[in-house]
Structure 1
Amino acid sequence: MSTPEAPSPSVEAQMRRRLRRHNRALAELAATKTELVSALLHELRTPLTAALGMLDMLPEQTGDPLLDEALPLISRNLRRIERCTNEIATISGIESGTIPLDRTEFDLPGMLRRVAGAAGADCATAPPDGLFLGDRERLSEVVTRLLAAVRALSGSAEIEAELVGGEWQVSFPLPDEQVTDRLFTSTGAGGNAMALIMARAVVGRHGGSVGVHSSGGTAYLRMLLPL
Protein backbone atom coordinates (compact mmCIF):
# COMPACT_ATOMS: atom_id res chain seq x y z
CA MET A 1 0.00 0.00 0.00
CA SER A 2 1.51 3.33 -1.04
CA THR A 3 1.95 6.09 1.51
CA PRO A 4 0.86 9.64 0.73
CA GLU A 5 3.63 11.94 -0.32
CA ALA A 6 4.71 14.56 2.17
CA PRO A 7 4.04 18.12 1.09
CA SER A 8 6.98 19.82 -0.55
CA PRO A 9 8.92 22.40 1.47
CA SER A 10 7.44 25.18 -0.67
CA VAL A 11 3.89 24.03 0.16
CA GLU A 12 4.74 23.81 3.86
CA ALA A 13 6.24 27.29 3.74
CA GLN A 14 3.08 28.64 2.10
CA MET A 15 0.93 26.99 4.78
CA ARG A 16 3.06 28.48 7.54
CA ARG A 17 2.84 31.95 5.98
CA ARG A 18 -0.92 31.58 5.63
CA LEU A 19 -1.27 30.52 9.28
CA ARG A 20 0.85 33.46 10.39
CA ARG A 21 -1.38 35.84 8.42
CA HIS A 22 -4.52 34.34 9.97
CA ASN A 23 -3.03 34.57 13.47
CA ARG A 24 -2.04 38.19 12.91
CA ALA A 25 -5.55 38.98 11.64
CA LEU A 26 -7.11 37.33 14.70
CA ALA A 27 -4.76 39.17 17.05
CA GLU A 28 -5.59 42.49 15.37
CA LEU A 29 -9.31 41.74 15.59
CA ALA A 30 -9.06 40.90 19.29
CA ALA A 31 -7.05 44.07 19.93
CA THR A 32 -9.59 46.15 18.00
CA LYS A 33 -12.45 44.67 20.03
CA THR A 34 -10.64 45.38 23.30
CA GLU A 35 -9.91 48.97 22.27
CA LEU A 36 -13.51 49.48 21.12
CA VAL A 37 -14.96 48.17 24.38
CA SER A 38 -12.55 50.32 26.40
CA ALA A 39 -13.48 53.43 24.40
CA LEU A 40 -17.21 52.75 24.69
CA LEU A 41 -16.95 52.19 28.45
CA HIS A 42 -15.10 55.48 28.84
CA GLU A 43 -17.71 57.33 26.77
CA LEU A 44 -20.50 55.79 28.84
CA ARG A 45 -18.98 56.20 32.28
CA THR A 46 -18.11 59.90 32.02
CA PRO A 47 -21.67 61.21 31.46
CA LEU A 48 -23.11 58.46 33.65
CA THR A 49 -20.98 59.49 36.63
CA ALA A 50 -21.95 63.13 36.11
CA ALA A 51 -25.68 62.28 35.88
CA LEU A 52 -25.59 60.10 38.99
CA GLY A 53 -23.71 62.81 40.87
CA MET A 54 -26.32 65.41 39.98
CA LEU A 55 -29.12 63.01 40.86
CA ASP A 56 -27.66 62.39 44.32
CA MET A 57 -27.67 66.15 44.97
CA LEU A 58 -31.42 66.44 44.39
CA PRO A 59 -33.86 66.11 47.30
CA GLU A 60 -36.02 63.00 47.52
CA GLN A 61 -39.15 65.16 47.42
CA THR A 62 -39.20 68.35 45.35
CA GLY A 63 -42.83 69.26 45.84
CA ASP A 64 -43.42 68.97 42.11
CA PRO A 65 -45.62 65.88 41.44
CA LEU A 66 -44.16 65.35 37.98
CA LEU A 67 -40.54 65.53 39.23
CA ASP A 68 -41.29 63.34 42.23
CA GLU A 69 -42.64 60.69 39.88
CA ALA A 70 -39.90 61.05 37.26
CA LEU A 71 -36.79 61.14 39.48
CA PRO A 72 -37.11 57.57 40.88
CA LEU A 73 -37.62 56.26 37.35
CA ILE A 74 -34.55 58.15 36.11
CA SER A 75 -32.54 56.86 39.07
CA ARG A 76 -33.52 53.22 38.47
CA ASN A 77 -32.58 53.41 34.80
CA LEU A 78 -29.27 55.14 35.46
CA ARG A 79 -28.39 52.47 38.05
CA ARG A 80 -29.32 49.80 35.53
CA ILE A 81 -26.98 51.35 32.95
CA GLU A 82 -24.28 51.52 35.61
CA ARG A 83 -24.65 47.81 36.46
CA CYS A 84 -24.58 46.88 32.78
CA THR A 85 -21.49 49.02 32.17
CA ASN A 86 -19.67 47.44 35.11
CA GLU A 87 -20.58 43.97 33.89
CA ILE A 88 -19.33 44.68 30.38
CA ALA A 89 -16.05 45.87 31.88
CA THR A 90 -15.81 42.67 33.95
CA ILE A 91 -16.53 40.43 30.94
CA SER A 92 -14.00 42.31 28.81
CA GLY A 93 -11.39 41.98 31.54
CA ILE A 94 -12.00 38.25 31.94
CA GLU A 95 -11.80 37.66 28.19
CA SER A 96 -8.59 39.67 27.79
CA GLY A 97 -6.96 38.21 30.90
CA THR A 98 -6.59 41.56 32.68
CA ILE A 99 -8.94 40.21 35.36
CA PRO A 100 -7.22 37.06 36.66
CA LEU A 101 -9.13 33.92 37.58
CA ASP A 102 -8.29 31.79 40.62
CA ARG A 103 -6.86 28.34 40.13
CA THR A 104 -7.77 26.37 43.22
CA GLU A 105 -8.91 22.79 43.62
CA PHE A 106 -12.51 22.29 44.70
CA ASP A 107 -15.32 19.73 44.54
CA LEU A 108 -17.25 20.66 41.38
CA PRO A 109 -20.30 18.40 41.99
CA GLY A 110 -20.51 19.73 45.54
CA MET A 111 -20.52 23.30 44.25
CA LEU A 112 -23.27 22.44 41.75
CA ARG A 113 -25.41 20.87 44.46
CA ARG A 114 -25.03 23.94 46.69
CA VAL A 115 -26.05 26.28 43.87
CA ALA A 116 -29.04 24.10 42.97
CA GLY A 117 -30.07 23.78 46.63
CA ALA A 118 -29.97 27.55 47.13
CA ALA A 119 -32.24 27.94 44.08
CA GLY A 120 -34.59 25.12 45.07
CA ALA A 121 -33.61 23.12 41.97
CA ASP A 122 -32.73 19.46 41.46
CA CYS A 123 -29.16 18.39 40.79
CA ALA A 124 -27.80 15.04 39.64
CA THR A 125 -24.06 14.42 39.29
CA ALA A 126 -22.12 11.37 38.16
CA PRO A 127 -19.79 10.73 39.90
CA PRO A 128 -21.16 12.36 43.08
CA ASP A 129 -17.89 14.14 43.76
CA GLY A 130 -14.76 15.12 41.89
CA LEU A 131 -11.98 17.66 42.17
CA PHE A 132 -11.70 20.45 39.61
CA LEU A 133 -9.03 23.13 39.21
CA GLY A 134 -10.43 26.57 38.54
CA ASP A 135 -12.15 29.68 39.86
CA ARG A 136 -14.86 28.39 42.17
CA GLU A 137 -16.51 31.75 42.81
CA ARG A 138 -16.75 32.76 39.14
CA LEU A 139 -18.06 29.35 38.08
CA SER A 140 -20.58 29.37 40.94
CA GLU A 141 -21.83 32.77 39.76
CA VAL A 142 -22.10 31.50 36.18
CA VAL A 143 -24.09 28.40 37.19
CA THR A 144 -26.38 30.48 39.41
CA ARG A 145 -27.20 32.89 36.60
CA LEU A 146 -27.64 30.23 33.93
CA LEU A 147 -29.96 28.31 36.23
CA ALA A 148 -32.05 31.44 36.83
CA ALA A 149 -32.12 32.25 33.10
CA VAL A 150 -33.28 28.75 32.12
CA ARG A 151 -35.92 28.87 34.86
CA ALA A 152 -37.19 32.16 33.45
CA LEU A 153 -37.71 30.40 30.11
CA SER A 154 -39.32 27.20 31.31
CA GLY A 155 -40.63 27.88 34.82
CA SER A 156 -38.41 25.14 36.27
CA ALA A 157 -34.76 24.25 36.16
CA GLU A 158 -32.36 21.49 37.10
CA ILE A 159 -28.69 20.64 36.73
CA GLU A 160 -27.28 17.42 35.31
CA ALA A 161 -23.51 16.95 35.48
CA GLU A 162 -21.48 14.04 34.18
CA LEU A 163 -17.77 13.38 33.83
CA VAL A 164 -17.21 12.12 30.28
CA GLY A 165 -13.83 11.52 28.66
CA GLY A 166 -11.87 13.90 30.85
CA GLU A 167 -14.35 16.77 30.88
CA TRP A 168 -17.36 17.71 32.94
CA GLN A 169 -20.61 18.18 31.03
CA VAL A 170 -22.84 20.48 33.08
CA SER A 171 -26.29 20.54 31.45
CA PHE A 172 -29.45 22.57 31.99
CA PRO A 173 -32.49 20.94 30.29
CA LEU A 174 -34.43 23.39 28.13
CA PRO A 175 -38.22 23.41 27.63
CA ASP A 176 -39.70 20.94 25.15
CA GLU A 177 -40.87 23.67 22.80
CA GLN A 178 -37.25 24.89 22.52
CA VAL A 179 -37.91 28.60 22.52
CA THR A 180 -34.55 29.21 20.89
CA ASP A 181 -35.64 32.61 19.59
CA ARG A 182 -35.85 33.75 23.23
CA LEU A 183 -32.90 31.78 24.54
CA PHE A 184 -30.62 34.35 26.16
CA THR A 185 -31.58 37.08 23.73
CA SER A 186 -34.10 39.15 25.66
CA THR A 187 -33.05 41.84 28.10
CA GLY A 188 -35.75 40.78 30.53
CA ALA A 189 -35.93 37.71 32.74
CA GLY A 190 -33.02 38.78 34.90
CA GLY A 191 -30.66 39.78 32.11
CA ASN A 192 -30.32 36.34 30.54
CA ALA A 193 -28.35 37.59 27.53
CA MET A 194 -25.63 38.95 29.80
CA ALA A 195 -25.67 35.68 31.75
CA LEU A 196 -24.69 33.74 28.63
CA ILE A 197 -21.99 36.22 27.63
CA MET A 198 -20.48 36.06 31.13
CA ALA A 199 -20.67 32.25 31.08
CA ARG A 200 -18.82 32.05 27.78
CA ALA A 201 -16.11 34.40 29.05
CA VAL A 202 -15.52 32.51 32.31
CA VAL A 203 -15.86 28.99 30.88
CA GLY A 204 -13.73 29.96 27.89
CA ARG A 205 -10.91 31.02 30.23
CA HIS A 206 -11.16 27.52 31.75
CA GLY A 207 -10.59 26.01 28.32
CA GLY A 208 -14.25 25.00 27.89
CA SER A 209 -17.30 26.12 25.95
CA VAL A 210 -21.02 26.87 26.36
CA GLY A 211 -23.67 25.97 23.80
CA VAL A 212 -26.96 24.26 23.06
CA HIS A 213 -26.87 20.49 22.53
CA SER A 214 -29.52 17.86 21.88
CA SER A 215 -29.60 14.34 23.32
CA GLY A 216 -32.44 11.82 23.34
CA GLY A 217 -34.90 14.38 22.03
CA THR A 218 -34.10 16.86 24.81
CA ALA A 219 -32.34 20.17 24.26
CA TYR A 220 -29.75 21.26 26.81
CA LEU A 221 -27.76 24.35 27.52
CA ARG A 222 -24.41 22.72 28.26
CA MET A 223 -21.13 23.84 29.78
CA LEU A 224 -18.09 21.75 28.86
CA LEU A 225 -15.28 22.02 31.40
CA PRO A 226 -12.10 20.02 30.69
CA LEU A 227 -10.22 18.76 33.73
Structure 2
Amino acid sequence: MRELTGEARARESLRRQNRALAELVATRTELVSAMLHELRTPLASTLAMVEMLPADTGDAQLDEALELIARNVRRIAGVTEQIATISGMENGTLPISRKDFDLAALLSKHGFAVESMETFAGDRDRLNQVFARLVEAVRALGGAGRMTASTDGDHWRIALPLPPDLVTDRLFTGANATALMFARAVVGRHGGTVGVESASLVVSLPRSARPPGSADPAP
Protein backbone atom coordinates (compact mmCIF):
# COMPACT_ATOMS: atom_id res chain seq x y z
CA MET A 1 0.00 0.00 0.00
CA ARG A 2 2.82 2.38 0.89
CA GLU A 3 4.58 1.60 -2.38
CA LEU A 4 1.41 2.32 -4.36
CA THR A 5 0.90 5.58 -2.47
CA GLY A 6 4.49 6.58 -3.20
CA GLU A 7 4.10 5.79 -6.90
CA ALA A 8 0.89 7.80 -7.05
CA ARG A 9 2.59 10.78 -5.43
CA ALA A 10 5.51 10.48 -7.83
CA ARG A 11 3.13 10.40 -10.83
CA GLU A 12 1.22 13.40 -9.53
CA SER A 13 4.47 15.30 -8.95
CA LEU A 14 5.58 14.48 -12.49
CA ARG A 15 2.23 15.68 -13.89
CA ARG A 16 2.56 18.96 -11.98
CA GLN A 17 6.09 19.47 -13.26
CA ASN A 18 5.01 18.74 -16.84
CA ARG A 19 2.13 21.20 -16.54
CA ALA A 20 4.47 23.86 -15.17
CA LEU A 21 6.94 23.24 -17.98
CA ALA A 22 4.19 23.42 -20.61
CA GLU A 23 2.93 26.70 -19.14
CA LEU A 24 6.47 28.11 -19.11
CA VAL A 25 7.02 27.16 -22.76
CA ALA A 26 3.65 28.64 -23.74
CA THR A 27 4.41 31.86 -21.86
CA ARG A 28 7.82 32.15 -23.53
CA THR A 29 6.33 31.51 -26.98
CA GLU A 30 3.62 34.14 -26.42
CA LEU A 31 6.18 36.65 -25.12
CA VAL A 32 8.49 36.17 -28.12
CA SER A 33 5.56 36.46 -30.53
CA ALA A 34 4.34 39.65 -28.87
CA MET A 35 7.82 41.20 -28.87
CA LEU A 36 8.37 40.34 -32.54
CA HIS A 37 5.02 41.89 -33.44
CA GLU A 38 5.91 45.09 -31.56
CA LEU A 39 9.33 45.26 -33.23
CA ARG A 40 8.39 44.48 -36.81
CA THR A 41 5.95 47.34 -37.40
CA PRO A 42 8.29 50.21 -36.40
CA LEU A 43 11.23 48.44 -38.05
CA ALA A 44 9.39 48.17 -41.36
CA SER A 45 8.59 51.90 -41.41
CA THR A 46 12.10 52.82 -40.26
CA LEU A 47 13.70 50.65 -42.96
CA ALA A 48 11.48 52.30 -45.57
CA MET A 49 12.66 55.74 -44.43
CA VAL A 50 16.29 54.57 -44.35
CA GLU A 51 16.02 53.60 -48.02
CA MET A 52 14.87 57.17 -48.79
CA LEU A 53 17.91 58.79 -47.15
CA PRO A 54 20.24 60.60 -49.56
CA ALA A 55 23.64 59.04 -50.17
CA ASP A 56 25.30 62.45 -50.02
CA THR A 57 23.91 65.46 -48.14
CA GLY A 58 26.98 67.62 -48.60
CA ASP A 59 27.69 67.45 -44.86
CA ALA A 60 30.39 64.86 -44.05
CA GLN A 61 29.36 64.46 -40.41
CA LEU A 62 25.69 64.07 -41.29
CA ASP A 63 26.51 61.53 -44.02
CA GLU A 64 28.53 59.48 -41.51
CA ALA A 65 25.71 59.63 -38.95
CA LEU A 66 23.05 58.61 -41.48
CA GLU A 67 25.19 55.68 -42.68
CA LEU A 68 25.64 54.50 -39.07
CA ILE A 69 21.90 54.77 -38.40
CA ALA A 70 21.06 52.82 -41.56
CA ARG A 71 23.59 50.10 -40.77
CA ASN A 72 22.32 49.64 -37.22
CA VAL A 73 18.66 49.60 -38.24
CA ARG A 74 19.39 46.88 -40.81
CA ARG A 75 21.33 44.95 -38.17
CA ILE A 76 18.39 45.12 -35.74
CA ALA A 77 16.06 43.97 -38.52
CA GLY A 78 18.36 41.04 -39.30
CA VAL A 79 18.53 39.94 -35.66
CA THR A 80 14.75 40.23 -35.37
CA GLU A 81 14.28 37.91 -38.33
CA GLN A 82 16.79 35.45 -36.85
CA ILE A 83 14.85 35.38 -33.58
CA ALA A 84 11.62 34.86 -35.51
CA THR A 85 13.16 31.95 -37.42
CA ILE A 86 14.57 30.31 -34.27
CA SER A 87 11.25 30.73 -32.47
CA GLY A 88 9.36 29.28 -35.43
CA MET A 89 11.70 26.29 -35.54
CA GLU A 90 11.35 25.65 -31.82
CA ASN A 91 7.55 25.87 -31.71
CA GLY A 92 7.00 24.03 -35.01
CA THR A 93 5.32 26.86 -36.92
CA LEU A 94 8.05 26.87 -39.58
CA PRO A 95 8.02 23.74 -41.73
CA ILE A 96 10.91 21.29 -42.01
CA SER A 97 11.06 19.48 -45.33
CA ARG A 98 11.63 15.74 -45.50
CA LYS A 99 13.56 14.86 -48.62
CA ASP A 100 16.44 12.46 -49.22
CA PHE A 101 19.76 14.16 -49.94
CA ASP A 102 23.52 13.56 -49.78
CA LEU A 103 24.52 14.75 -46.30
CA ALA A 104 28.14 13.66 -46.86
CA ALA A 105 28.47 15.97 -49.86
CA LEU A 106 26.96 18.86 -47.91
CA LEU A 107 29.39 18.38 -45.01
CA SER A 108 32.37 17.95 -47.33
CA LYS A 109 31.52 21.30 -48.90
CA HIS A 110 31.93 22.90 -45.48
CA GLY A 111 35.32 21.28 -44.87
CA PHE A 112 34.44 18.15 -42.89
CA ALA A 113 36.34 14.88 -43.27
CA VAL A 114 33.40 12.54 -43.80
CA GLU A 115 32.88 8.80 -43.60
CA SER A 116 30.73 7.30 -46.32
CA MET A 117 27.13 8.14 -45.47
CA GLU A 118 23.82 6.68 -46.53
CA THR A 119 21.18 9.04 -47.88
CA PHE A 120 19.79 11.33 -45.20
CA ALA A 121 16.13 12.41 -44.99
CA GLY A 122 15.67 15.99 -43.91
CA ASP A 123 15.76 19.67 -44.76
CA ARG A 124 18.91 20.20 -46.81
CA ASP A 125 18.65 24.01 -46.98
CA ARG A 126 18.17 24.44 -43.23
CA LEU A 127 21.01 22.04 -42.38
CA ASN A 128 23.25 23.78 -44.90
CA GLN A 129 22.60 27.04 -43.02
CA VAL A 130 23.32 25.30 -39.72
CA PHE A 131 26.74 23.98 -40.71
CA ALA A 132 27.77 27.15 -42.53
CA ARG A 133 27.00 29.22 -39.44
CA LEU A 134 28.52 26.77 -36.95
CA VAL A 135 31.79 26.53 -38.90
CA GLU A 136 31.99 30.32 -39.05
CA ALA A 137 31.19 30.66 -35.33
CA VAL A 138 33.72 28.05 -34.18
CA ARG A 139 36.44 29.47 -36.41
CA ALA A 140 35.76 32.92 -34.95
CA LEU A 141 36.60 31.40 -31.55
CA GLY A 142 39.88 30.01 -32.90
CA GLY A 143 38.70 26.42 -33.21
CA ALA A 144 37.56 24.04 -35.99
CA GLY A 145 40.91 22.37 -36.69
CA ARG A 146 40.05 19.01 -38.26
CA MET A 147 36.28 18.71 -38.49
CA THR A 148 34.93 15.17 -38.79
CA ALA A 149 31.68 13.32 -39.42
CA SER A 150 31.52 9.65 -38.45
CA THR A 151 29.08 6.97 -37.36
CA ASP A 152 28.29 6.57 -33.67
CA GLY A 153 25.80 3.72 -33.34
CA ASP A 154 22.49 4.86 -34.79
CA HIS A 155 23.64 8.49 -35.05
CA TRP A 156 26.09 10.58 -37.03
CA ARG A 157 28.63 12.39 -34.84
CA ILE A 158 29.63 15.64 -36.56
CA ALA A 159 32.42 17.33 -34.59
CA LEU A 160 33.91 20.83 -34.77
CA PRO A 161 37.00 21.08 -32.49
CA LEU A 162 37.02 23.99 -30.05
CA PRO A 163 40.15 25.71 -28.73
CA PRO A 164 41.57 23.44 -25.97
CA ASP A 165 41.15 26.08 -23.26
CA LEU A 166 37.64 27.05 -24.40
CA VAL A 167 35.47 23.96 -24.27
CA THR A 168 32.01 25.21 -23.29
CA ASP A 169 29.07 26.51 -25.27
CA ARG A 170 29.03 29.54 -22.95
CA LEU A 171 31.67 30.88 -25.33
CA PHE A 172 28.94 31.47 -27.86
CA THR A 173 27.82 35.08 -27.48
CA GLY A 174 26.38 37.68 -29.82
CA ALA A 175 26.15 36.47 -33.41
CA ASN A 176 27.77 33.17 -32.40
CA ALA A 177 25.01 32.61 -29.85
CA THR A 178 22.28 32.97 -32.47
CA ALA A 179 24.17 30.48 -34.67
CA LEU A 180 24.13 27.96 -31.83
CA MET A 181 20.46 28.61 -31.02
CA PHE A 182 19.52 28.22 -34.68
CA ALA A 183 21.50 24.97 -34.90
CA ARG A 184 19.80 23.53 -31.83
CA ALA A 185 16.36 24.47 -33.13
CA VAL A 186 16.90 22.96 -36.60
CA VAL A 187 18.81 19.86 -35.45
CA GLY A 188 16.24 19.28 -32.70
CA ARG A 189 13.49 19.22 -35.32
CA HIS A 190 15.48 16.46 -37.05
CA GLY A 191 15.59 14.39 -33.85
CA GLY A 192 19.20 15.30 -33.06
CA THR A 193 21.17 17.32 -30.53
CA VAL A 194 23.91 19.96 -30.43
CA GLY A 195 26.32 20.23 -27.50
CA VAL A 196 29.91 20.35 -26.28
CA GLU A 197 31.72 17.08 -25.61
CA SER A 198 35.36 15.93 -25.74
CA ALA A 199 36.68 19.43 -26.58
CA SER A 200 34.40 19.71 -29.61
CA LEU A 201 31.07 21.18 -30.54
CA VAL A 202 29.16 18.06 -31.61
CA VAL A 203 26.07 17.78 -33.79
CA SER A 204 24.36 14.41 -33.44
CA LEU A 205 21.89 13.43 -36.17
CA PRO A 206 19.95 10.15 -36.43
CA ARG A 207 21.14 8.00 -39.31
CA SER A 208 17.70 6.79 -40.38
CA ALA A 209 15.06 8.67 -38.38
CA ARG A 210 13.01 11.26 -40.22
CA PRO A 211 12.28 14.69 -38.76
CA PRO A 212 9.56 14.29 -36.09
CA GLY A 213 6.28 15.99 -36.84
CA SER A 214 7.35 17.14 -40.29
CA ALA A 215 5.61 16.68 -43.56
CA ASP A 216 6.82 16.21 -47.09
CA PRO A 217 6.92 19.50 -48.97
CA ALA A 218 4.18 20.13 -51.47
CA PRO A 219 5.19 19.16 -55.03
Same fold per superposition (TM over 0.5): yes
> Secondary structure of 2:171's partner?
coil
Match of 1:55 in 2: 50
Structure 1 letter corresponding to 2:71? R
The answer (yes or no) to whether the contact 2:149–2:157 under 8 Å persists in 1 is yes
Higher Cα Rg, which structure? 1
Question: 1:156 and 1:83, CA in 2 relative to 1: closer, same or farther beyond 3 A?
Answer: same
> Secondary structure of 1:154's partner?
coil
> Secondary structure of 2:55's partner?
coil
Inter-partner Cα distance in structure 2 for 1:165 and 1:180? 25
What pairs with 1:32-51 in structure 2 (closer than 5 Å)? 32-51=27-46
Inter-partner Cα distance in structure 1 for 2:92 and 2:149? 27
Match of 2:59 in 1: 64
Inter-partner Cα distance in structure 2 for 1:165 and 1:181? 24
Deviations 1:172-227 (A, max 9, x none): 01123326487212x3xxx211110101111111121111111xxxx101011123
Q: 2:192 aligns with which of 201, 208, 216?
A: 208
Q: 1:165 aligns with which of 153, 160, 183?
A: 153
Deviations 1:86-142 (A, max 9, x none): 0100000000000010111222222211222xxxxxx2223x222222211111110
Question: 1:66 and 1:100, CA in 2 relative to 1: closer, same or farther beyond 3 A?
Answer: same
> Secondary structure of 1:161's partner?
strand
The answer (yes or no) to whether the contact 1:60–1:68 under 8 Å persists in 2 is yes
Match of 1:131 in 2: 119
Structure 1 letter corresponding to 2:200? Y
Inter-partner Cα distance in structure 2 for 1:90 and 1:157? 29
Greater fraction strand: 1
Percent of aligned pairs with the same residue? 56
Match of 1:104 in 2: 99
The answer (yes or no) to whether the contact 2:143–2:162 under 8 Å persists in 1 is no
Inter-partner Cα distance in structure 1 for 2:117 and 2:182? 25
The answer (yes or no) to whether the contact 2:144–2:160 under 8 Å persists in 1 is no
> Secondary structure of 1:75's partner?
helix
Length-normalised TM-score, structure 2:
0.86
The answer (yes or no) to whether the contact 2:159–2:203 under 8 Å persists in 1 is yes
What pairs with 1:1-227 in structure 2 (closer than 5 Å)? 8-116=3-111, 123-126=112-115, 128-154=116-142, 157-178=145-166, 180=168, 183-185=171-173, 187=174, 191-214=175-198, 219-227=199-207
Greater RCO structure (CA 8 Å; 6+ sep): 2
Structure 2 letter corresponding to 1:225? L
Q: CA deviation at 1:149?
A: 1.1
> Secondary structure of 1:221's partner?
strand
Length-normalised TM-score, structure 1:
0.84
Q: Give the number of aligned pairs.
A: 207
